[in-house]
Structure 1
Amino acid sequence: MRILSVLVVAGALFGCSALPGDGPAAINITSQDVEESAKAGDYTVVVLEATNIDLVKAYRPLAFANQFHGVGSGGSSSLLGVGDTLVVTIWEASPDGLFSSGGGGSSQIPSVVDENGSIFIPYAGSVRAAGLSIEGLRQSIQKKLIGKAVEPQVLVSLKDKLSTTAVVVGDVAKPGVYPLPLRNTRLLDLVAQAGGSREATYETVVTLKRGNRAGTTRLEDLIDYPENNVLISPSDNILLSHRPRTFSAFGAVKDNQLVPFRTKTVTMAEALATVGGLRDDRADANGVFLFRYEDAALVRKLKPALDQKLSGQTAVPMVYKLSLRDPQGFFLAQNFEMRDKDIIYVSNHPTAELGKFLQIIAPLISNYSTVQRIYD
């Protein structure tokens, strides 16, 4: 009778879900009202299928590009400014002229636009340069030399546009201040000038700071999605950081841990294999979940019914559910790619609670049997 009482009490605890667990069971997550969860801002559940995996793979993450769309001039000004370095070449018709030298009939005069916005040209004096185009400065110098030089002809060449620069720092080969040429310069152009990333592109993060705006993206996303390769504006600050990608695994897997990406791409199947796969004695093969934040634009494609409810949101908590009871699930896991900071959770099978229950009552049964043998 005593052992029966122990079983009844322990069974009541077991039935009331009083036993500890690693996390929610599959039935608890799938029973959530998806629409209400999204409305409350909690999370959205999507069952992995071939169609929605294709949508995820085809999606172009352009949040970085949108952050800087229409913000900034997109390149260096064509007008000269303080700090610009120039080369002024002057020709004269007479070999005996002021600027004739070495029989070439010309002289080259290196110049820098000073803090007052001017350059100095012999016999022409101080010439205003800041705010003028190269052609405007050329005409201004030539006009001032008329009557002093013999039929002067002037050419102005821009050497370095130091009045408009951008800064590149961090994990690059050659950090520093880089002048922006007159042509439009894109983010990858400047990263290349700085010698490129010192680490693998898929482990490097680019942060662009422009005024009070800042955006971050993976370096490889500038190549994979050209729209993210935005135009650089004067005074932009660019930081490259080595940030290896990781994912976490919890629940009924053989090894709960934080796992770094070893290659550029890691599939869900590879991620599960890395942590030893599902535990045979506990795992519910129908309850494999992946947690991540997705762009609201992608969630609208996956769940069109949530379009209005996601208004104003940029990132939405998403739960992808996969069943490995169906052989098709293994093919889906092989095609679904992991991302940085993903969380994999494998729920316990309901019968696993019985195993925990038996572990709890085993000492009680053993002690009871020992006492009975003593009295017998």
Structure 2
Amino acid sequence: MLYPTLRPIRGATLLLTAGLLAACALPRVGPNKSEIFAGSVLREGDAFVLTVDDRVNAIAAVAPALGFSAGFLNAGELGADTIRAGDTLGLTIFENVDDGLLVPTGANATAIEEVQVDAQGFIFVPYAGRVRAEGNSPEALRRVITERLAEQTPDPQVAINRLAGDGATVSVQGAVTAQGVYPIERPTRSLIPMLAAAGGVAVEPDIARVTIQRGDQRAEVFYDDLFASAANDIALRDGDAIVVKSDSRTFTALGATGAQDRITFESRTISAIEALAQVGGLSSTAADPTGVFVFRNEPEEIAEQLVGQDVTGPQRVVYVLDLTRPNGMFMARDFAIRDGDTVYVTEAPFVQFNKTIAALTGSLSAANGVQDATGL
């Protein structure tokens, strides 16, 4: 009995270890349900925490719409062979007189070769003057020149053909079979035939998005929607840029799921149930099915409908899904995931309890090992 005051160390080990565990947070995948609810505006937080029901589903399912503005939808089709600045034309003029304005004596026609359309869209024709060519078809230009020459020579005949230049063109880029610059011709005066001329989309049609850039106007539409209405097969204009790309929308999955990752949308729409399935579902050993949350920034107009009060600007909203409720799976099936959402699943309470016990047991074993080694 040389050191009687050191004998109680074994009994004190449990209290010491428990105190250390209380002072040090155990590792976990993220916040628990209580901590998330503590961030509610009802508890002086800055997020609206809402339990998902049929009303919430109907409001939250509204997503930014893609489609064409009236400027695109109301544009008429261009002619099959529209002339543009920079084109080179060839003119042949016939006169029914012996001493014509342009036709040499003894000939019945004269050729005016390589007449270039200037930057302002005009050409010059002797005795007809400066004539606007850009925006006209060769047939329309022929009529204009004929009318002007008829004022000075009886019954002139004019033939026009394009020697160089593609007329009105569009560029087709991105996820198509054959990218390139294509002329607007009779079969390709609208969007769907032009995409077909480029070989069609090279990604799954369900996730293909088509963007049209026309000057300072821009519009985007899902590829499948082009076939939902004839109006969506819009007329093309010279200089249009058509870009096809895969859907770039993503959501993030965190917490007690089969995988934690940033996931790309694999279909036009995706529900909360489908989102969980894409990451392997709930972890069977860790997940709390009453604690499935979706974090989202909602625009002002949707947030006001959800909370029933005036708000200013976008609002942080946390949607709560309880899969154990009688209709919980249906609510999750009907809840639409949107671009940028974070899907988070909390750990079940017993998981943290097990971690505490495991840490406690390990700490006691370590402490006892030290004590045995020292002989105390």
TM-score exceeds 0.5: yes
Distance of 1:75 and 1:159 partners within structure 2: 27
Deviation at 1:251, TM superposition (A): 0.9
Matched, 1:49 2:48: no
1:103 maps to what in 2?
Answer: none
Matched, 1:166 2:167: no
Q: Is the 8 A contact 2:13 2:367 kept in 1?
A: no
Distance of 1:189 and 1:301 partners within structure 2: 42
Deviation at 1:326, TM superposition (A): 0.9
Call closer, same or farther: CA 1:264–1:163 in 2, change over 3 Å.
same
Deviation at 1:142, TM superposition (A): 2.5
1:138 maps to what in 2?
Answer: 143
2:309 maps to what in 1?
Answer: 305
1:347 maps to what in 2?
Answer: 346
Distance of 2:235 and 2:36 partners within structure 1: 44
Matched, 1:332 2:348: no
Higher mean C-alpha displacement, 161-170 vs 339-348? 161-170
Distance of 1:36 and 1:158 partners within structure 2: 75
Q: Secondary structure at the match of 2:349?
A: coil
Distance of 2:232 and 2:38 partners within structure 1: 39
Call closer, same or farther: CA 1:273–1:140 in 2, change over 3 Å.
closer
Q: Secondary structure at the match of 1:22?
A: coil
Call closer, same or farther: CA 1:368–1:129 in 2, change over 3 Å.
closer
Distance of 2:233 and 2:327 partners within structure 1: 38
1:32 maps to what in 2?
Answer: 39
Distance of 1:53 and 1:160 partners within structure 2: 59
Q: Describe how 1:242-253 pairs up with structure 2 within 5 A.
A: 242-243=246-247, 246-253=250-257
1:23 maps to what in 2?
Answer: 30
Distance of 1:20 and 1:206 partners within structure 2: 45
Q: Describe how 1:240-279 pairs up with structure 2 within 5 A.
A: 240-243=244-247, 246-279=250-283
Higher mean C-alpha displacement, 81-90 vs 358-367? 81-90
Call closer, same or farther: CA 1:75–1:132 in 2, change over 3 Å.
closer
TM superposition score normalised by structure 2: 0.69
Q: CA RMSD in A?
A: 5.1
Distance of 2:162 and 2:42 partners within structure 1: 61
1:62 maps to what in 2?
Answer: 65
Call closer, same or farther: CA 1:268–1:109 in 2, change over 3 Å.
farther
Where do 5+ consecutive residues of structure 2 fail to align? 1-7, 102-108
1:291 maps to what in 2?
Answer: 295
Deviation at 1:198, TM superposition (A): 1.0
Distance of 1:266 and 1:160 partners within structure 2: 50
Where do 5+ consecutive residues of structure 1 fail to align? 99-105
Call closer, same or farther: CA 1:372–1:88 in 2, change over 3 Å.
same
2:4 maps to what in 1?
Answer: none
2:3 maps to what in 1?
Answer: none
Deviations 1:19-70 (A, max 9, x none): 2221111122223234899xx9x6544322122223344x3523665xx676
Higher mean C-alpha displacement, 242-251 vs 167-176? 242-251
Deviations 1:186-221 (A, max 9, x none): 765654553431111233344444556766665446
Deviation at 1:279, TM superposition (A): 3.0
Rg larger in structure: 2
Q: 1:238 aligns with which of 218, 227, 242?
A: 242
Percent identity over paired residues: 28
Deviation at 1:356, TM superposition (A): 1.5
Matched, 1:128 2:131: yes
Amino acid at match of 1:166: V
Matched, 1:8 2:15: yes
Equivalences, count: 356
Q: Is the 8 A contact 1:293 1:318 kept in 2?
A: yes
Q: Is the 8 A contact 1:203 1:245 kept in 2?
A: no
Q: Is the 8 A contact 1:210 1:235 kept in 2?
A: yes
Distance of 1:45 and 1:228 partners within structure 2: 39
